[in-house]
Amino acid sequence: MPMESTEIERLIKEAFPNASIEINDLAGDGDHYAATVIAPEFKGMNRVQQQRAVYAALKGRMGGELHALALTTRAPD
């Protein structure tokens, strides 16, 4: 069963409560998303660390309920 964008946002917000999150359904199928996550918690992390932190926030749903998520992450300016 596809994952709703609201559930993706909820899980990310749970891990990064101060994050600004934008999620787009790329194919309209609920399986392919792009997300931009801007979080103060990312300060001092490189891009790979930031993206791993977001994937960890999804609690193992990547590859199962959530087929594809293209991530753009950064700390706020």
For the chain, the domain total comes to 1
The whole-angstrom separation of Cα 2 and Cα 48 is 26
The pLDDT of residue 65 is above 90: no
- Give me the CATH number covering residue 31: 3.30.300.90
Number of alpha helices (DSSP H) and beta strands (DSSP E) in the chain: 2, 3
The whole-angstrom separation of Cα 11 and Cα 8 is 5
Neighbours of 77 (CB within 10 A): 4
How confident is the model over 28-41, as pLDDT tens digits? 888 889 999 999 99
pLDDT score at 30:
80
Residue in this structure with the two tokens 């790329």, named with its chain if needed:
26
How confident is the model over 42-60, as pLDDT tens digits? 999 999 999 999 999 999 8
pLDDT score at 3:
86
Where in the sequence is the domain holding 37, given as residue range(s)?
Answer: 5-74
The pLDDT of residue 67 is above 90: no
pTM recorded for the entire structure: 0.90
